[in-house]
Amino acid sequence: MAPILVATDFSPVSRLAVDWAIQASHRWHCPLVVLHVVHDPESAPGYYMKSKKRKKHLTRMEDAAQIMMDEFMQSIRGECPVIDDLTTVEARLVVGLPVYRILEVANEIGARQIVLGCVGRTGLPRLLLGSNALRVAQLAPVPVTLVKNPKS
């Protein structure tokens, strides 16, 4: 059975999307792939950030993202017991431009659906900042579910 792909940036709204995808995966008895894309544009590869655990050392962006993904998945497992009933849950980390990597992974795994959190900007902020979620929805060959924060 084809999996559901849910992309996360670890924000509260993407957490809502992951919760939605877990419930859908449970309902449809299909695998779930949780994806995080480390944004690493070709013009400036190899960003580094300070590690929370080692304040004087720098950590490669991919390593920091892996730590965040591990903590995120651990949090989900602790707060959403339904996840243990799923057939398969896979956490993936890839590097690249989010829109294109999400579509690439969806194609690679044969996703039946893509789920994304959507902030829901309107007007000038949407025009200036764009929306990765809307771009994925425009380009995806499979259904895309955009989960908005009910408080916004």
Domains, the chain, in order of start with CATH, read 4-148 (3.40.50.620)
Torsion sign (Cα): 22, 23, 26, 27 = negative
pTM across the whole model: 0.84
For residue 81, give the DSSP letter: G
Distance CA 67, CA 69 (A): 5
- Condensed to tens digits (0 to 9), the pLDDT of residues 73-121 reads 999 888 887 887 777 899 999 999 899 999 999 999 999 999 999 876 5
- Among positive and negative, which fits the CA dihedral 34, 36, 42, 46? negative
